[in-house]
Structure 1
């Protein structure tokens, strides 16, 4: 268990064994929480499918490297993936916090819906150019009509 987590556990008098609160299978660490965990892997896989990418999800380090290498430019797909990646990190972390402090769980589908809403709100003010089949499909999948 990390030092920061121990401090939180002591402060809020919550007893934790260090296992992942999302899947309960192994000790939680950054790599596990963000993509080794079956819960977060399911969420990220669903996000990629919304973008039209049907591919395997790798571990945290590999996905981060892919994001750094591939998410450059200003296409609608790139912008959505950048926003979705940031939202994914936020909502997975938030889900873990809710589990720790409120003992509540959301489904992976709920988290995907939260990510969709976050992306939608961030793109609301921007002009969306539907100049290709890919852009049109993205707008439909993400509810940006």
Structure 2
């Protein structure tokens, strides 16, 4: 099962203030332990919302509305994410609890969210190979039917 550990933005992260080398080293060690456990799929920090653009669609409006950042911190802004693959929600929560918390930078929040399972089907190389094989067989059948004019 894949889970996203979503790091909530703070006033500090929105201002581009980094916690410092001790926290960076702790995060590097955390990510290394995730990788060594075979759980790490991706991990990225996001730029502050001042570098972002929000696109909103309103009912009854034909065109979307564009809004340039920065956005208000209390609107569920994200500062980064870590994508992991583990066996259970409990394991995902345990990894989230091991994430280093920057000290002196306000409230730190992590949201743990499970990804939809349909994506797992497409990611499985065996399934992709089966689909490719079926597509090849379908093309061969179409060619045969054209040639025999059935």
Report if TM-score (shorter chain) is over 0.5: no
Report the TM range for the smaller structure's normalisation: 0.3 to 0.5
Q: Which has a greater percent of strand?
A: 2
Q: TM-score, normalised by structure 1?
A: 0.32
Higher relative contact order (CA 8 A, sep 6+): 2
Q: TM-score, normalised by structure 2?
A: 0.31
